[in-house]
Amino acid sequence: MTHDRTELPAEGVPRSTLEAQLKSMPPDAVHGHWSRAFRGPEDVQEVGRMAYNMFLSDNGIFSLRSEYIRRIEEEVIGMCVSLFNAPEDASGTFTSGGSESNYSALHAMREWAREHHPHITAPEVIVPFSAHPTFSKGCHYFGLKLVRTALGKDLRADVSAMAEAIGPNTIAIAGSAPCWPYGLYDPIAAISDLAVKHDLWMHVDACVGGYLAPFVESLGHPLPAWDFRVPGVKSISADLHKYGYCPKPASTVLWRSESLKRFHHVHPEDWPGGPYQMQGFAGSRTAGPIFAAWTVLKYLGRSGYRRLAAQLLDTSRRLAEGIESVEGMYVFKSDLMPLGFGSHVLDMQLIMGGLRKIGWLLVASRQPPLINLPVDGATGDAVINAFVADLRKVAAAVRAGADAGRAELTY
Ligand SMILES: *Cc1c(COP(=O)(O)O)cnc(C)c1O
């Protein structure tokens, strides 16, 4: 049997050779743009890199015990919690991303249910069909049964379908603010009513919208209530490495109270080292993202995030106008982000295939067929103009009957 597996070189390779190789690897800035989301403008990226590099080699495993890391992580959580209309003793946990934030919530709700609903031995969690796949992954990891309910005609969670799905084993319910495929807010307040009525844990997945919504609202664009103002909401996930414009990996899971955070922590002692206390799932981790998040949050402040939110709305509008100027294309009417576009007349699999062939790295959704563009603070005219021009070319070719190959409309 032959393998083309790379082997460790016998002798070290010179740094200059490696640097040249590394530089040749990534896709070009324009075609690779959407796959690099989410980034802030260059100055924000630079500030994040500065702090990240300074603390790259510091070990975040000790963030509960190393005073200088503990304090910074706490300040990050403090700044984040302050955005979500939280009660006085609300709390949070710094995580590696929306995946880990959602896993943390799923784990905590399971532990909570063991105390609050001890008779339930086969726990179930209800989410709308549009909820992120990390709910499916997390439920798989934690032995929870996930029930996905049908969406309403407006593609938001159908609250009556969720109510019907509640049974004797239900421990929790969740909605998105907004969901990834459509950028639409689920009726969080109505889902919360169900949670309160049936004594369920309610989680809100605000991974994509969490650090954008407060500033869009402050610019005078009302959004549906989705945060701790809604009484049934016990936990919220929100990604700093999306519209918080912090370097990856960085996200938060916020808890309505310290007493709920208790269900998150697992601190075993049954080994020779005694108490093993970490912030979350990770053990050894770089402290870089924690310090970078602290630095970016402070660097921007409320006024900076508001300015970037205004800029983002403007960028999205220009991109949307460009896309709608292409015959046959429409922009999906979302509440926030991402920007999705589709067609009522052209086969979106052919559009996706054509754009992929040109080199664009894209993600999409199937129902309805939409290509999802994560517009961010680094999206500028060069990308918008190139993308719209290529879309115009591809759409014209598809309209003329060309078949340059299909691509699945998948994430
Ligand atoms: C991005 C996202 C996630 C997952 O976050 P990662 O940081 O990619 O792990 C979960 N839910 C929603 C709504 C998201 O947009």
CA of 208 to the centre of ligand 1 (A): 6
Which pLDDT belongs to residue 2? 63
CA of 99 to the centre of ligand 1 (A): 6
**Cβ(158) to ligand 1 under 6 A?**
no
Tell me, rounded to whole angstroms, the distance of Cα 308 from its chain centroid: 18
pTM above 0.85, yes or no: yes
Establish how many alpha carbons lie within 13 A of residue 50's alpha carbon, considering only the half-sphere containing its beta carbon.
10
Which pLDDT belongs to residue 403? 81
Task: Tell me which of 103, 208, 376 to substitute to probe ligand 1's pocket, judged by most ligand atoms within 8 Å of the beta carbon.
Answer: 208
CA of 338 to the centre of ligand 1 (A): 12
**Cβ(97) to ligand 1 under 6 A?**
yes
Using the atom order of ligand 1, give the atom closest to the CA of residue 134: 10
**Cβ(207) to ligand 1 under 6 A?**
yes
CA of 131 to the centre of ligand 1 (A): 10
DSSP state at residue 288? H
Task: Tell me which of 36, 96, 130, 134 to substitute to probe ligand 1's pocket, judged by most ligand atoms within 8 Å of the beta carbon.
Answer: 134
The enclosing H or E element of 404 equals none
**Cβ(99) to ligand 1 under 6 A?**
yes
Sheet holding 170-176, edge to edge: 91-95, 251-255, 233-238, 201-205, 170-176, 124-128, 145-149
Which pLDDT belongs to residue 9? 96
Using the atom order of ligand 1, give the atom closest to the CA of residue 208: 15
**Cβ(132) to ligand 1 under 6 A?**
yes
- Residue among 249, 260, 238, 258 at smallest CA distance from 107: 260
Helix, strand, coil percent values for the chain (each to nearest 5):
40, 15, 45
**Cβ(230) to ligand 1 under 6 A?**
no
Beta bridge partners of 373: 339
Residue with tokens 């690897």: 25
Separation of alpha carbons 264 and 236, rounded Å: 13
CB contact burial 290-322 (16+ within 10 A = b; e otherwise): bbbbbbbbebbeeebbbbbbeebbebbebbbeb
Show the domains of the chain with their CATH numbers: 25-40+313-399 (3.90.1150.10), 46-298 (3.40.640.10)
Pairing of β 170-176 and β 233-238: unpaired
Q: Which residues of the chain have pLDDT under 50?
A: none
Which pLDDT belongs to residue 1? 56
CA of 241 to the centre of ligand 1 (A): 10
Q: What are the Cα distances from residue 236, in Å, to 9, 63, 129, 242?
A: 46, 22, 19, 15
pLDDT in tens, 324-358: 999 999 999 999 999 999 999 999 999 999 999 99
Separation of alpha carbons 29 and 386, rounded Å: 11
Tokens of 17: 């050779």
Separation of alpha carbons 283 and 277, rounded Å: 9
Nearest Cα residue to atom 15 of ligand 1: 208
The answer to whether residues 388 and 381 touch, using CB atoms and an 8 Å cutoff, is no
pLDDT in tens, 255-295: 999 999 999 999 999 999 999 999 999 999 999 999 999 99
Separation of alpha carbons 334 and 181, rounded Å: 10
Pairing of β 170-176 and β 145-149: unpaired
| Amino acid residing at 4 | D
